[in-house]
Structure 1
Amino acid sequence: MATDTPLRPADSAAYDDDRGGSQSRPAPPAYGWAPRLRRLIGIEEGLLSWVPEDRPRYTWYGALVVNTALLGAISMVLALSSFRSDLPLAAVLGVAVVWFWVILALDSWLVSSTHGTGVRKWTLLVRFFLSVLLGLFIAEPILFQIFDKEIRQEIAVGNEQRVADYRGMLVSCNPTDGAATTGRAECARYQLKVAGSPAELARQIDTNSDRAAALRTQVAGINKTLNDKLATEQRLCGPKYWIWRGGVRDVTITCERARKATSEYEKNSKVKTYEKQLENMVAEGRTLSARKDRAADGYQPALQKAIDDKTRQRAADLDTDGILTRAHGLKEVAESDGFALFLTIVLHLLLLCLDAMPVLAKVLSGATAYDTLLGARHRTSRKLYSEELEVQQTCARLEHDVRRHRVQLDTADRMSRLDQEYQRAQAERAVAERAELEARMERIMRTRGTSTTV
């Protein structure tokens, strides 16, 4: 009978009806490291068991993703070792592990998002572009390490040239005779302040001479005015203007006023102070002149020492291990030699291909049988989900109809009960009114009977 025929579970049905096939469908589950690699790129083992021929392909896809992450970790170790040599080993390894996980997560997402037949080509190109950007970041530290000797040599030569140019500008902008170079625009950042410069001493002598000449003119004017006042005082206080006072010859009040005016002017004009300052300026001028005569012997060694100090400071400030410095050094190495440029381009392309290989392999291989099954499952899932939504909508609509009918029946029942209660109340009210009328009639009849008897 048909009912006695055993049914085969859906998950164990053969991939086709060919009984002579060498492998059943679905294939037995795989164990070991291969399923873990495939799980990294989002492969579902249950679905892949229907096409076990694709297992090696996706296993190596997973290996490519792991290799790219390992390459990124090695690149980060090389970068930190080159640019931050002061970091401890534990910190370098910690950052490398974190970077390994970041690269692994990004590449796993890039590859896992390409499964199925519904992936558009332009999305694959976008993912490939993202993988190339990631590859550029990973490849540069490795290139720096490959060309480390040449880069360091180029940086050393460039720094030596910069130091030599800087020293040349210092020597040009600071002459040994101390001549001023403020009029040269290119010397604005290269002028040194060295004590004992002959030119500086000459400027100090000129300044002192100008100040002394101005003060000498001022003192001469004060002395002239003071001499005039003294002459006036002598004239007014001479015998010609004496008067008799108390039997004695004495000067007039005009003479006393002249003497007072002379004394006040001499005091207020500070001529003594100015004369003292003038003497000091003259002495300072002699000292500066003597220093200028001896400056030529001591200024040149002091200037040379200042230039040497500035040159050493400039050499110490130049960067030798910065990422921008090394990138510039790599560019100079590539531009200085044709073979170095060719080798740099080839290594760049090779490392970029290695870094972008997970997505590149997917783009080149095209859709697989697994992608076809996954696309069919996606379409089936969408169809089932749409049908499930329709079922839920139908159930909800029927449930609403039941609730509506229940409400209608409940409303009719409540209205019927209300009508019955109303009719019962009306009947009871009529009975009560009839009883009250009968009672009144009985009282009236009783009253009339009593009146007739009397």
Structure 2
Amino acid sequence: MATDVPVRPADAFAGPPAPFRPDRPDRGRVAVRLRRLIGVREDVLDYVPEERPRYTRYGVVVLNTALLAGLSMAVALATYRSGMPLAALITVAVVWSGVILSLDSWLVSTTHGIPAGRLLRTVLPRLVISLLLSISIAEPLLFQFFDKEIRQQIAVSNDEAVKHYEGMLIRCNPKTGEVDASAACHDYQLNVKNSPAQLAKSIAGNTDATQQMQSRVEAITKTSKGNWAVADRECDRKKWIWITPTAARTTETCENAKKSAKAYDRSSRIDYYQGQLKKLTTTGTTLSAQQDRASASYGPALQRTVAAAVHKRRAELADDGLLTRAHALEAVAWNDWFAALIFVVVHLLLLGIDSMPVLGKLMSGSTTYDGLLVSRFETSRRIHADEIEVQYACAEMEHEVQRHRVQQETTERMQRLEHEQRLAQAERSLKLRAELDRRSANLLRGDRR
């Protein structure tokens, strides 16, 4: 039985235990991709695996915000552009979702590795940007939440506006045809043909023109009659010049008076003015007849014009655009305190959800992962500084080597030049000595002769 008891424990021959840190890499593809979405480094997070769930959910928050942005854009386009094709609607929503995803990812990734002392002042500008983005996401959803109330408010407001518009048209355009020219009626004046007031003005103007033309014709006629009366007086038989008892002629004064009367008749255009007077008289008769008929037909024509203007105004107000819905939502929200409370709570809730990617960082504070990143940043900075110093030292030594090489080459070149100079000088001395020897030999041979 003693042989059944092991001498050493079974795990005594096992390999060395796994290190406590860093932990084994996470093999969950979805979780890793969610964390990569917000810029988390897995090799650093392996030292604090306890924070993996935190940053995984952080990535889920960013992804949900992007999906909510796409849904909000789809709702907005479906509401304000009802005839938009489904493919275009989905494309725009996907693109907008991608834009929000990239912006939120950037905002969150820039908050990693911030020391606790600088977290607030660093995150606040990013929070402002996030709030601006959240407003663009939350408003279409808010309009959709209060869609029924907004439509009711728009219908009531449009009915009130149309009634006010119709009342101002009736007030500023009475059945008598006299348009109100006050400042309040400046935008409510209608142009209805053959109104009694317009015809009365036309009749008054025609009457004034007829009277003026009548006065001119009478003045011309009176002057013409006076001229011919003078001519008749000067041409009287008593003033003739008798050449014989049976033959006589008129005086020169008579002829001049006739010529003057005829010239005035031609220059006064009495026929033209008489024709114009006849036309004005006919026009006055026609306008009077039209005024009699307009008194009975202007009322129905005015009603038809007012009805057409009211119908056009109602069609213009039927377009519930973004600003119209915003004003209607404001009216609904501040109608009473409870509606205002619901509006504020829902609005803040949507803003909080949409700005949660950055707001969550401010709420969670600096984590251990951030501390490790700070340490890594500091280490990288020091390594970089040391690397720069090493590079500087190597470059300085290389420069010293190059300087020494240049000095050595310069010394060698100087020595070589000096050696060449000495050789040249020696050659010149040899040549000079040879020349002297030749001349001495020549002199000696001359003396012998």
Q: TM-score, normalised by structure 1?
A: 0.91
1:14 maps to which of 19, 32, 43: 19
Partner of 1:205: 203
**Deviation of the 1:232 alpha carbon:** 1.3
Instruction: State the distance in 2 between where 1:64 and 1:58 align.
Output: 10
Aligned partner of residue 175 in structure 1, secondary structure: coil
Partner AA of 2:19 in structure 1: A
The aligned runs of 1:387-426 (5 Å cut-off) are 387-426=386-425
Partner AA of 2:124 in structure 1: L
Partner AA of 1:125 in structure 2: L
Instruction: State the distance in 2 between where 1:199 and 1:222 align.
Output: 34
**Deviation of the 1:241 alpha carbon:** 2.7
Instruction: State the distance in 1 between where 2:291 and 2:145 align.
Output: 59
Instruction: State the distance in 2 between where 1:160 and 1:449 align.
Output: 156
Instruction: State the distance in 2 between where 1:337 and 1:414 align.
Output: 102
Instruction: State the distance in 1 between where 2:256 and 2:437 align.
Output: 154
Partner of 1:80: 77
Partner AA of 2:264 in structure 1: Y
Instruction: State the distance in 2 between where 1:431 and 1:240 align.
Output: 168
Cα offsets for 1:285-314 (capped at 9, x unmatched): 122222222221101111111111111111
Name the stretch that deviates more: 263-272 or 287-296: 287-296
Instruction: State the distance in 1 between where 2:250 and 2:441 align.
Output: 166
Aligned partner of residue 26 in structure 2, secondary structure: coil
Indicate yes or no: 2:73 matched with 1:68: no
Instruction: State the distance in 1 between where 2:67 and 2:179 align.
Output: 62
Name the stretch that deviates more: 119-128 or 137-146: 119-128
Cα offsets for 1:213-246 (capped at 9, x unmatched): 1111111111111111101111222212323569
Instruction: State the distance in 2 between where 1:230 and 1:220 align.
Output: 15
Instruction: State the distance in 2 between where 1:106 and 1:281 align.
Output: 80
Partner of 2:308: 309
CA RMSD across the alignment: 1.9
**Deviation of the 1:363 alpha carbon:** 1.5
| Aligned partners of 1:155 and 1:320 also within 8 Å | no
Cα offsets for 1:326-381 (capped at 9, x unmatched): 11111000011322211111111111111111222222222222222211111111
**Deviation of the 1:255 alpha carbon:** 2.3
Indicate yes or no: 2:44 matched with 1:47: yes
Partner of 1:95: 92
| Aligned partners of 1:177 and 1:199 also within 8 Å | yes
Aligned partner of residue 120 in structure 1, secondary structure: helix
The aligned runs of 1:214-233 (5 Å cut-off) are 214-233=212-231
| Aligned partners of 1:27 and 1:50 also within 8 Å | no
Partner AA of 1:102 in structure 2: V
Partner of 2:146: 147
Aligned partner of residue 176 in structure 2, secondary structure: coil
Which runs of no fewer than 5 residues in structure 1 stay unpaired?
A: 1-7, 16-23
**Deviation of the 1:13 alpha carbon:** 7.5
| Aligned partners of 1:13 and 1:25 also within 8 Å | no
Partner of 1:252: 251
Partner AA of 1:292 in structure 2: Q
Instruction: State the distance in 1 between where 2:73 and 2:235 align.
Output: 105
Aligned partner of residue 25 in structure 2, secondary structure: coil
| Aligned partners of 1:154 and 1:329 also within 8 Å | yes
Instruction: State the distance in 2 between where 1:258 and 1:235 align.
Output: 9
Partner of 1:357: 356
**Deviation of the 1:319 alpha carbon:** 5.3
Partner AA of 1:65 in structure 2: V
Partner of 1:21: none
Partner of 1:189: 187
| Aligned partners of 1:82 and 1:321 also within 8 Å | no
1:29 maps to which of 1, 26, 29: 26
Instruction: State the distance in 2 between where 1:447 and 1:97 align.
Output: 122
Which runs of no fewer than 5 residues in structure 2 stay unpaired?
A: 1-14
| Aligned partners of 1:136 and 1:352 also within 8 Å | yes
Partner of 1:446: 445
| Aligned partners of 1:78 and 1:142 also within 8 Å | yes
**Deviation of the 1:117 alpha carbon:** 4.1
Instruction: State the distance in 2 between where 1:58 and 1:387 align.
Output: 33
Cα offsets for 1:14-64 (capped at 9, x unmatched): 24xxxxxxxx63223323211000000001112212221111111100000
| Aligned partners of 1:38 and 1:62 also within 8 Å | yes
Instruction: State the distance in 1 between where 2:195 and 2:303 align.
Output: 12
Instruction: State the distance in 2 between where 1:222 and 1:131 align.
Output: 90
Partner AA of 1:111 in structure 2: V
Name the stretch that deviates more: 82-91 or 55-64: 82-91
Indicate yes or no: 2:341 matched with 1:342: yes
Instruction: State the distance in 1 between where 2:152 and 2:251 align.
Output: 100
Aligned partner of residue 189 in structure 1, secondary structure: coil
Question: Using a 3 Å threshold, how does the CA distance of structure 1 residues 327 and 374 change in structure 2: closer, same or farther?
Answer: same
Question: Using a 3 Å threshold, how does the CA distance of structure 1 residues 248 and 448 change in structure 2: closer, same or farther?
Answer: farther
